[in-house]
Structure formats: C-alpha cells, structure tokens
Structure 1
Amino acid sequence: MYLKKLHLRSFRNYVDRQVEFTAKKTILVGNNAQGKSNLLEAVELLATLKSHRTSRDRELVLDTATASQIEAIVERTHSTNELSIIFRKQGRRTVAVNRENLRRQLDFLGVLNAVQFSSLDLDLVRGAPETRRNWLDGLLIQLEPVYSNILQQYNQVLRQRNALLKKIRAVRQDDPNGSIDSFEPQLRLWDEQLAAAGSRVTRRRARVVARLDPIARRWHQKISGETELLEVKYLPNVEWTEDEPSKVQRAFLTRIEERRIAEQYQGKTVVGTHRDELEFAINETPARHYGSQGQQRTLVLALKLAELKLIEEVIGEPPLLLLDDVLAELDPNRQKQLLEVIGDRFQTIITTTHINSFNQNWIKDSQILKVQAGTIITAFL
C-alpha cells in the first residue's frame, strides 16, 4: 500500500498544496503550528473518515473558505484508486472513489489503511475508558469497515433508549406513585434492540483483543528487554462466555433486567458496550497505576506496533504509519527500536521539529519536506 499523491484545498491552514511522495519514508520538518500535523490528519481522515483532533467538519475548513477538499492517489497490490473527501462548514461531507460519489461512507473505508501514533496516544494508558474504546473501535473499522455501521446502529438505539428513560424519570419525579406501564412495551422493544446491537459490538471487540494481545505482548517484551509482561484485557460491561449471538443477547437482557429500576431513576442506560473497559496490565498491575511515563510510552509503542502487524495480517498489505512528533517523546533506546522496526517495511510519514533526531541512514533514504505556514517545499540537506 502506497500513498502516491496528496492534494489539499482550503484544508486547515493549506490554501492549495499538492505533495507527491517519492520515497517510502517522508520526514516533515518545521516548527510547531506550521501545518505538519494537519497533513497527517488529512491522511488519517482518508483512512478512517475520522480525526482524533476534532469531530466538527467546519474546523477542517480554512477560515476564508466554505468547503475544503482532500484528494489522494493510493496504489495497492492489485489496484490504484483516487480518493476524495469534501468537508463543508454547512452541510454534509461528500466522499468519492475514482471520481464516483458514494452514497454510503462505509464504501469509502478500507481503500487506505493507516496507523497514527502521536504524543496524545499516552491517553490510551492514563485517559478515560472512552479513549480506549474509541481506539479499539477505530482499529476494528479498519479491519472490518462494516463495523462502522454496526457501531452507528448501537449508538442510535442507545440515544433513543436514553430519551425514553429520561421521560420515565420525569414521570417518576412528578408523581412518585404514578404508573409508567404505558412506557413498558416501548422500553422492552428498545431493550431487545440494545441487546442485539450490543451483541454485535461486544463480540467483535472481544475477538480483536484476543488477536491483538499476543502480538502486543511480544513487542512489549522485545522493547522492555523481556523484563515486563504486558496483558491487554477486554472487560465488557455485560459478561458472556460463549461467542454465540443469541446467548450474548440473553446475557444483555438479563443484565438490563437487573438494573431496570436503577436505569429508570437515573434516566439513562447503564448497561451496554458504551460502558466497556479495555485494561492494560504490566506484570499483572493496571498500567495506569504502574511505573513511569517511560514505561507507559513503551506500552503505547507496543500497542501501535501490534496494531500495524494486525492490520497487515488481516488486509494482506502493510498500512501507512503516521508518526506525529513522537521521537521527542521517546528515549534513545525506544527511538532506535521504533526506527529499526519501521525500516522500509511501511510507508512512513513522520513529523519533527529537528532533523537531527534521525541518523544519517534514515535521512539519506527519506524524502524530506519543509513545512512552513501551510507551504511545503522539498528540503535539500
């Protein structure tokens, strides 16, 4: 998989810039706030249709414009594809493959695969459970694009069910002795739908963690000098043992019944995959309570390398690797490990403020671009 060309129009701080990638490794050099991360964000959007920096399309559009566009040419083993996304300050985005607008965004996913690694990824260890769920869901979408629709269906059911529970809570608050029987048929219907959608989400999450854990464990042992043991544990809010849809759905319905009164008084759904947790343990101790930032960075590095490997195994081609100023976050040993693993195996786009972070062999084999105030020029060292 190779990103051959990227064209940005009115995207973030880029007015109209085109980049042709001429080497397997590209180093973007420049001071902070010049547009290096914006370029990586554009590639991330092509791969996942999401940005880890914002959920608002209008923030992706240049201040003086009403819309922005990302275009790319992606070469794969058996095909070459043109990708395009148009973001609007008002209105919905448009996605196209080979100049054909797509009705479903799902059909856009999977043409380009990429793994992003930035300093923000330390939140995977020390951040809220939602951060870890989002990371896991992002990986699943790249492995199985239809998961995007599955997750969307679950969230739609969750919103509708929460709206009904808020109504029930309001009735109870207005009249503690009042009847809520009229809500019961509708609530039971949402229970069934939450269990069905939640079953599809939790089973896929469990499967991908089972595949990811041994890969991450091997990388972590290698990076840590085999002094520490990493475990990636999926802790579903609804526990189940057999990967069979009807049995998982029954586990959901049983748990919902147990928490029915609590949900009605709280006015929200407290059972479901939106409350799942993903735990990282080092030597059987939760990593968020364990050790130094250096050890947490080792863990995140192992997770990202495992993510790369798993995507490569599933799709049959190495994904792109996007590294956003991470070398400054790693000590020399971890830097060396990361750069050695990358080699020429993955197309890599990496940002830095200082080119001397890299050894001469890396510099010699890389395309080096200077980024300044939304302009990109080839740098000759």
Structure 2
Amino acid sequence: MHLRHLRLLDFRSWPLLELNMEPGVTTLIGRNGHGKTNVLEAIGVLSTLRSHRVAGDAPMIRSGTETALIGALAHNAGRELTVELALNSGKANRARLNTSPSRRLGDILGVVQSVLFAPEDLALVRGEPAERRRLLDELMSQRRPALGRDLGDYASVLRQRTALLKSASGALRRGRPEESAAVLDTLDVWDGRLAEIGARIVSGRVALLEQLRPLVVDAYRSLAPESRPADLTYRFRVASPPAEGELTDPEFVEALLLAELGSRRRDEIDRGQSLVGPHRDDLILTLGDEPAKGFASHGETWSFALALRLGSLELFRADGIEPVLLLDDVFAELDRHRRAALAQVAAGVEQVLITAAVGEDVPGGLRGARHDVVMTGEGPDRHSAMTPSPRRSDTVPEAGDNGVVGSAGPAVGDAGGTDGGEYNDDDNTDFGSEEQL
C-alpha cells in the first residue's frame, strides 16, 4: 500500500500541511525540533490510533486550538480510500472513512498500515514492559482490526474496574463494610468482562508472536551474525503460567484470568489497582541465556530493536501487505553494517518516508524526492513549513547503496507547537481509552 496525500490541520507544529506523495522514497530534511517527526507520527496515529511518542492526545493538538485533524488518501489493495481522524480536546475523538462518519474509531484500522523505526525504539529492549506490549498491540491492531477494537474495550473495562477497586479500598478504610460489599458485587461483573476481553488480547498476542518470532530471530542473525542467538517469549503474569502454546486458546486463558482475579482480589482492594490482566504482561527478549535488557551491548541493543521492526515488516508481507515504512532520523545513529542492511530492505519497499537532520545522512540511493522542513515565525506564531527541493534521485549512490526511484508532488505547510512529549509507561495506563488511542 502507499499514501497519495497526507493532510494535517493543527497537528503539533503544523497548522496546515498538504503533502502529495507517490510510491518510492520521500525524504524530509530539517533541523531537530522543526517538525519532521510530527509528520511520521501522524501517519503512525492513522495506522494504530496511538502515538509512538505520547500516551495522550493533548500534545498532538496545536497550542491554542481544540482539534487536530489527520487525513490521508491511501491506495490499499487496489482501492483508493480516504480516512480522517479528528483529535478533540475534552471530548471524544472522531473518524471518517470515505467521507462517512465512523461509529467507532477502530473502524479505520487497517486502512493505513505502517512500520516505524526510530531511535526511541531502543526502549523496546531497554525500557519498561509497556513498550514491548505496545509493539505487539500495534501490530495486532493493524493486522486484525477486531482485536484492535478489543484493546479500546479493555481500556474502558480496566478504567471502570480500577475505579471500583479504589472505591472499595476507600470504603474499608473509612469503616463502611456495607458500602464496600455493594461495590464488590458490581466488581464481579467487571471481572467477567476483563477476563473475557483480556483473554482475546492475550491469545491474539501469543498467536502473533508465534508468527513474528522466527522473522525477528532471522533478522537479528543477519544484523549481528557474531552475537548470541535472539529469542522472544511471552510472559503471562499469573501465579502458575502454562506453556506459551496453550495461551492461544481464549477460553482457557479466560478461565486462568478469572481464577487469578479471585485469588488476587484482596491485594487489588488493598492497593486500589487492577493487578491481573494483559496490561501487566511482558514480552521477554533474550540473547542466549540472558535477558537482552541489562545484558545486551549497545550494538546488540540496536540490532535487536531493528530486528523487531524488520520482522514486523516481513510479517505484513507474509499477509500480502506492503506497509509504508517510516524511518525517523535513524541512519545517523547506525553503524555502517546496520545502515547498509536497513538501506537494502528499504530499497525494496513500495513507499518509504525518511527524516534526517542532514541530507547526507540518508544513503544516496534512498534520497528520492526531498522536502525541506523549517521552523518559522516567533513566539505563538512559530510553526513548521515545508518546501520541495530539487529531485535528489539522480544523486550518485554511495558505495553499497541500492537505487530507489521515488517522487512526490509539491507540499505546502504551516504551524506551531512542540516536537516532543513524554510517554507514560505505567503498567495500568498503557491501554488508553478509545477516545485517547
């Protein structure tokens, strides 16, 4: 698949961006903080209904405005589809598909499919479990939109159940057992919903992992042939977890979750937190007999992070899908071997968007159609702008580079805001509400 057009309105630093694209390579060149990553982030949000940078919507809505709009014209499986997502401050987000309002945000999942690789991906190896859960969930949402909708439903159940636990905990502390008993009766209903939806999420993750694992292992072997072999396993956080293969049965997982919820209820009430469910699980990455987190060298960490993304790309291809590949300022961070390996893969992808602070950081054969991104204005009027540069596809390729033909139409853009944000990796908050996703 590929994008024909991307439109941003009041999204981060862009009051307006109209970017025409074609299959091939499009590069966005500009200094750090000038808004390049915001463009890739917007495409990622259309793909997964989540930002790869922040947990909530507020940082993505330009300061002084109430709504940010992301729109795209996508060529997917031989069809031209238009999709829009409105991020609204203080109220529910809204989506449109082919000009018709969508009943649920999840209805647009699968229209735009992408794989993004960024320096922040080192957190997949070094960071908290929420980072690795998000990797699985974003892949699952794009490949199986029904499971993506389950994630939104689970977020709502988790939020309601956690509120009830806090209420029960407070009633007991205040010496009101009758009030606590009433809350606990309601809690039984939410336990059933959490176990039912959570079981589908766990089973979907494990089924996905069974397909992803060999692709990541092979990618890591090619990137780091002298390193220890890589592996990935799913950590299901219950008292006596079964073999991973048994977790593909949702009914079996649901029974395990219900039993665990019953045994942990007192702990949950004492702490006022939901301690059982897929929001507590993890994807364990190992090198040889050791966990990659804390034991991998810097080079091994880069290789594992890149292997996870390359494996994700090949997983889409196994489904007969060619996702848009988004490379956010990564070539300057990679050594020669990994840089060449990524360039070789990118050369065979239908559409690639690349950001870089310096044009020379992009391998010659991947420069394609270039657009310069600059920040203009002062104070509240400070905003991003984009202008097309002369085509660079005729640049003499660097040694070892693969030529890629790509073009893009003229682009015009303006805007204000920031180019960053912090991601909240608290175990109980990585499932945003459907409005927040």
* TM-score, normalised relative to structure 2: 0.81
Question: 1:177 offset after TM fit, Å?
Answer: 8.6
Query: CA contact under 8 A between 2:2 and 2:23: conserved in structure 1?
Result: no
Q: Percent identity?
A: 30
The count of aligned residue pairs is 378
Query: CA contact under 8 A between 1:6 and 1:73: conserved in structure 2?
Result: yes
**Does 1:298 pair with 2:308?**
no
Query: CA contact under 8 A between 1:9 and 1:16: conserved in structure 2?
Result: yes
Query: CA contact under 8 A between 1:21 and 1:367: conserved in structure 2?
Result: no
Q: 2:370: which partner in 1?
A: 368
Question: 1:269 offset after TM fit, Å?
Answer: 2.2
Query: CA contact under 8 A between 2:142 and 2:148: conserved in structure 1?
Result: no
Query: CA contact under 8 A between 1:231 and 1:284: conserved in structure 2?
Result: no
Tell me the distance in 2 between the aligned counterparts of 1:69 and 1:355.
29
Distance of aligned partners of 1:90 and 1:257 in 2 relative to their CA distance in 1, 3 Å threshold: closer
**Does 1:336 pair with 2:340?**
yes
State the SS of the aligned residue for 1:204. Answer: helix
Distance of aligned partners of 1:252 and 1:10 in 2 relative to their CA distance in 1, 3 Å threshold: closer
Query: CA contact under 8 A between 2:343 and 2:363: conserved in structure 1?
Result: no
Q: 1:78: which partner in 2?
A: 78
Higher relative contact order (CA 8 A, sep 6+): 2
Comparing 134-143 with 19-28, which one deviates more in the overlay? 19-28
State the SS of the aligned residue for 2:92. Answer: coil
| Residue identity matched to 1:269 | S
Distance of aligned partners of 1:339 and 1:268 in 2 relative to their CA distance in 1, 3 Å threshold: same
Question: 1:170 offset after TM fit, Å?
Answer: 2.5
Q: 1:232: which partner in 2?
A: 232
| Residue identity matched to 2:290 | T
Give the alignment of 1:165-204 within 5 angstroms: 165-175=165-175, 181-204=181-204
Distance of aligned partners of 1:90 and 1:170 in 2 relative to their CA distance in 1, 3 Å threshold: closer
State the SS of the aligned residue for 1:228. Answer: coil
Comparing 343-352 with 15-24, which one deviates more in the overlay? 15-24
| Residue identity matched to 1:228 | R
Query: CA contact under 8 A between 1:23 and 1:367: conserved in structure 2?
Result: no
Question: 1:127 offset after TM fit, Å?
Answer: 1.0
Q: CA RMSD in A?
A: 2.2
Question: 1:51 offset after TM fit, Å?
Answer: 1.2
Tell me the distance in 2 between the aligned counterparts of 1:301 and 1:231.
14
| Residue identity matched to 1:35 | G
Gaps of 5+ in 2: 376-383, 393-437
2:277 counterpart (268, 272, 275) = 272
Give the alignment of 1:72-221 within 5 angstroms: 72-175=72-175, 181-221=181-221
Distance of aligned partners of 1:334 and 1:177 in 2 relative to their CA distance in 1, 3 Å threshold: same
Q: 2:378: which partner in 1?
A: none
Q: 2:388: which partner in 1?
A: 378
Comparing 240-249 with 253-262, which one deviates more in the overlay? 240-249
Render the CA deviation track for 1:67-97: whole Å, top value 9, x for unaligned. 3322221112320112222333453333212
Tell me the distance in 2 between the aligned counterparts of 1:44 and 1:348.
13
Q: 2:357: which partner in 1?
A: 353
Query: CA contact under 8 A between 2:168 and 2:184: conserved in structure 1?
Result: no
Query: CA contact under 8 A between 1:48 and 1:138: conserved in structure 2?
Result: yes
Q: 2:410: which partner in 1?
A: none
* TM-score, normalised relative to structure 1: 0.92
State the SS of the aligned residue for 2:293. Answer: helix
Tell me the distance in 2 between the aligned counterparts of 1:88 and 1:268.
28
Query: CA contact under 8 A between 2:167 and 2:180: conserved in structure 1?
Result: no
Distance of aligned partners of 1:342 and 1:175 in 2 relative to their CA distance in 1, 3 Å threshold: same
Give the alignment of 1:52-63 within 5 angstroms: 52-63=52-63
Q: 1:20: which partner in 2?
A: 20
Tell me the distance in 2 between the aligned counterparts of 1:303 and 1:139.
11
Question: 1:130 offset after TM fit, Å?
Answer: 1.3
Distance of aligned partners of 1:313 and 1:34 in 2 relative to their CA distance in 1, 3 Å threshold: same
Render the CA deviation track for 1:203-231: whole Å, top value 9, x for unaligned. 11111111111110000001112532110
Question: 1:66 offset after TM fit, Å?
Answer: 3.9
Question: 1:304 offset after TM fit, Å?
Answer: 0.2
State the SS of the aligned residue for 1:259. Answer: helix
Give the alignment of 1:239-278 within 5 angstroms: 239-241=241-243, 242=246, 243-278=248-283
Distance of aligned partners of 1:175 and 1:60 in 2 relative to their CA distance in 1, 3 Å threshold: closer
Comparing 221-230 with 201-210, which one deviates more in the overlay? 221-230
State the SS of the aligned residue for 1:125. Answer: helix
Render the CA deviation track for 1:128-160: whole Å, top value 9, x for unaligned. 111211221111101111112212222222222
**Does 1:311 pair with 2:296?**
no
Tell me the distance in 2 between the aligned counterparts of 1:180 and 1:356.
64
Q: 2:427: which partner in 1?
A: none
Tell me the distance in 1 between the aligned counterparts of 2:173 and 2:66.
46
Tell me the distance in 2 between the aligned counterparts of 1:58 and 1:307.
29
Render the CA deviation track for 1:230-280: whole Å, top value 9, x for unaligned. 101110113245333332222122222322322232222222211101110
Distance of aligned partners of 1:253 and 1:322 in 2 relative to their CA distance in 1, 3 Å threshold: same
Comparing 45-54 with 367-376, which one deviates more in the overlay? 45-54
| Residue identity matched to 1:115 | V
Comparing 326-335 with 178-187, which one deviates more in the overlay? 178-187
Tell me the distance in 1 between the aligned counterparts of 2:61 and 2:366.
34
